[in-house]
Structure 1
Amino acid sequence: MGVERAGFRPLLFNEFAKYACETLDVNVSKRHKADRIRVPAPGKDVVAAGPYEVPPPGAVVPIVEGDVQRIDMGNLNGRVDVLAGGPPCQPFSLGGVAKGDEDKRNMFPQMFRAVRQIQPKAVICENVRGLLRPSFKPYFDYILRELEFPFVERRVDSTWQEHDDVLRAMEERRDVRPDERYDVIMTPVNAADYGVPQIRNRIIIVAFRSDLNVDLDTFRKFITPQYSEGALFRSILNGDYWKRHDQVPEHVRERVVASVPKNLPLDDGTKPWRTLRDAIVGIEDGEGGKLPPLPPIGWDKLDRVDYRAGGFRYHVGWPGARIYDGHTPNEYDRPAKTVKAGVHGVPGGESVMLTDDLLEPDPGPLAAKRYKHRYMTVRETARVMTFPDEWELAGPRGEQMRQLGNAVPVLLGEVFAKAVAAVLDEAKSRA
């Protein structure tokens, strides 16, 4: 969605997980004609992505459901501006078993195969910050070199270290054809710095085909963060934040103001981080409008029943929320914590939120005040991932939350895709 909002027209989707495919199907079908194609079961031949030419505007967009390892995308060669994707990150996630390149779920080799087959002008790839851990750093450097030289295939009988030596030698010789080499930029990001109401530390890798002579310095300027924590703190102290949220109880304002650090960084002209409260009240929807406020969930409505309050889907109360060591809750007036994809959806405190409602009617001093908490609804979670309210999610609640936790915040994807579009256009105008 972020790439499409940047002006690119989708030509092909691929997804492996069943419910994610269903979600993709229903939402793509709202905007385009869609056709689901299922990849044959293991043991069958690798298949082409579909017996079709590149679909013209208004034509069917294929959704290929199944293992990317079994898909041949060669029919798209030379016809694609951007290849965008997220190779499964569990091999490198702090929340996983962290086997790295030894994990069979590592799909970076398939990303490089797709680059060889398609030869796109640009590649956008998102993954977890865990790739920067010292234990993974050598392999991650190898990943970046593989993307720089994707046409230099690794021999079946060689280790990644041996292949890395080959790539290093080519890097020194610089004798690879420009249309078979990519200029690679790796950017560590916090989604909150780009207007997403969520702390989400990731890496985004962008690569441009070298023969296009894209201005990389201009690209870096376009992806400079525009939001900051310091600006949020200043807006809380000077009252600008409360002008947007004038219904907040005074005892909540006092608590939030008291939590602001004494020494703030100098004003650098950035905008305030967006908060969970901003998301629930409604921020821009990415298409020129503003999302409406989500109605509150009554304490008598934590019963899994979809009352469609205000007409919102997936805004359903859920019982059993707990706070304990290691599972601290989200706070309204901070960006949400990282939305994760746990075994049963978003785990632990990452999906619990403090509310403005007091546990006791008159608890005394500010330090003694305690607040009620509940689970975030799926719709609230979608808001902090910057999905529009009309975005539908297939499956039960746990699967819906898992999809959100596995996704890229739409706004973050849009920022980087728009930067890619701008520098590709600029390079084309100079050609």
Structure 2
Amino acid sequence: MRSVELFAGAGGLAIGMANAGFQHAAVVEWDHDACETFRENQRHHTHAVEGWPVHEVDARSFNFSLLGRDIDVVSGGPPCQPFSMGGKHQGQRDDRNMFPEAVRAVRELMPRAFIFENVKGLTRKSFASYFSYIHLQLQYPELVRRKGENWMQHRARLEQHHSSNKGAATYNVLFNVLNAADYGVPQKRQRVFLVGFRSDIGARWSFPEPTHSEDALLISKWIDGAYWDEHGISSKQRPEILPRYAKRVELLRSTTQLLTLDRWRTTRDALRNLPDPESDRDHKIPNHVFTPGARTYVGHTGSALDEPSKTLKAGYHGVPGGENMFVKDDGTVRYFTVRESARLQTFPDEYEFRGSWSQTMRQLGNAVPVKLAEVVARSVAASLGACANPTRIKN
């Protein structure tokens, strides 16, 4: 199945799509360093990006007609800074808001499905009106905003059409906030996904159920001790249980219900088998370079080793300290290397990044975790494969 990847960034969503069996007809990204990351990996024949047609261009100027009308899925993560808790919160007023281009891609390509990802902040109450506007546009991408019509007027017209429409919407659109940790990513990263299927194909789909849980991690650490054994940590070296988990652990200890989910993956899991870049600087691992200067201050305390990491962030003015460092066993802190951050985002170890430390960390902070992207993409692919009606809408 052919796909188009917009706002590709470092390639997390694009790699997840490829792992799920989609073949990219175009990968669109305007940032030069991110495109150089793709090209560097293609020069090394990295399997994940082999043969991708990378277009270093602003999505607003991309001509979708060059791709034909046989695109099965459009996917992408429109720049999230307009809606991020750490950004300026300008939303639809921010010139980095690329949702209009996501809607244009759907309108012009009319794919059988689409997958768009963004920050959880998009679902905040302050953005509720604009979020409903995005949702309506994706349901009826053919109802274009008229000249001189502001977005609120356009939304009102879409609402009227939706309420009076006797037939189905052009796309059936679902959204949900997913925590990457619930799908095997060693990071607490909550993102909203908007997934739509063209109504004429009769797809049946729902968001994939979690595969991992915090409860399973608590059991592994504080009831059967398997987590510590796995990492070779003796009973004397094990930390005390944190007070906020004590009651939950006692409840889990007394329950007879068998947990069927795997445990959350932790920062320690992600960093396993990587040398300490501060003490061992002769290793040959790409992108695994020590960066000095990490320090704690109020609100910036780093990720705990035995929990999924905090959400990696790109940062509006440089790299955020607290989200991009961790607390070592001796209580000191240091920044994650690019390679460690890539593991937290579940990129393959063979995948290399181009650019300065701050630039590559920005690429990673904006990325969709590969494993989470693959889980969603595989579920979409399965639904498309099961559709009895593969016909396409004609011009």
Report the TM range for the smaller structure's normalisation. 0.7 to 0.9
> Residues 33 and 382 from structure 1, CA distance in 2 versus in 1: closer, same or farther, beyond 3 angstroms?
closer
* Candidates 13, 23, 33, aligned match of 1:9: 23
Tell me: CA distance 1:250–1:344, structure 2 relative to 1, closer, same or farther (3 Å). Answer: farther
* Mapping for residues 144-183 of structure 1, pairs under 5 Å: 144-175=135-166, 181-183=170-172
Larger Cα-atom Rg: 1
1:202 to 2:191 alignment: yes
Q: Secondary structure at the match of 2:172?
A: strand
Structure 2: gaps of 5 or more residues: 1-14
Aligned length: 369
Kept in 1: contact 2:228–2:234 (CA 8 A): no
Aligned twin of 2:123: 132
CA 1:344 to 1:102, structure 2 compared with 1: closer, same or farther past 3 Å?
closer
Which residue of structure 2 lines up, in the alignment, with residue 83 of structure 1? 74
Task: For CA contacts below 8 A with separation 6 or more, give which structure has more relative contact order.
Answer: 2
Q: Which runs of 5+ in 1 are unaligned?
A: 35-57, 282-292, 302-306, 358-370
For residue 166 of structure 1, what is the amino acid of its counterpart? R
| Paired residue secondary structure (1:350) | helix
Name 1:416's counterpart in structure 2.
Answer: 376
Alignment match of 1:341 (pick from 305, 314, 328): 314
| Structure 1 residues 162-311: aligned runs within 5 Å | 162-175=153-166, 181-216=170-205, 219-220=206-207, 223-237=208-222, 238-246=224-232, 248=233, 250-256=235-241, 260-264=245-249, 268-281=259-272, 293-298=273-278, 300=279, 307-309=281-283, 311=284
Which letter maps to 2:227?
A: Y
Partner SS state of residue 116, structure 2: strand
> Contact 1:345 / 1:400 at 8 angstroms: preserved in 2?
no
Mapped to 2, the partners of 1:157 and 1:251 lie a distance apart of 70
Q: Structure 1 length normalisation: TM-score? A: 0.81
Deviation digits for residues 98-123 of structure 1 (CA, Å, limit 9, x no counterpart)? 11111111110001111111111110
Deviations 1:24-74 (A, max 9, x none): 22224525899xxxxxxxxxxxxxxxxxxxxxxx9x642111211111101
Partner residue of 2:357 out of 397, 400, 404: 397
Q: Does 2:290 match 1:314?
A: no
For residue 125 of structure 2, give the secondary structure of its aligned residue in structure 1. coil
1:406 paired with 2:391, answer no
CA distance in 2, matches of 1:61, 1:338: 28
Asked if structure 2 preserves the Cα contact closer than 8 Å seen for 1:344 and 1:402, the reply is: no
Structure-2-length-normalised TM-score: 0.88
Q: CA deviation at 1:313?
A: 1.1
Q: Answer whether contact 1:86 1:126 (CA < 8 A) is retained.
A: yes
How far apart, CA to CA, are the structure 1 residues paired with 2:100 and 2:313?
24
Inter-CA distance 270–207: structure 2 relative to 1 (3 Å threshold): same
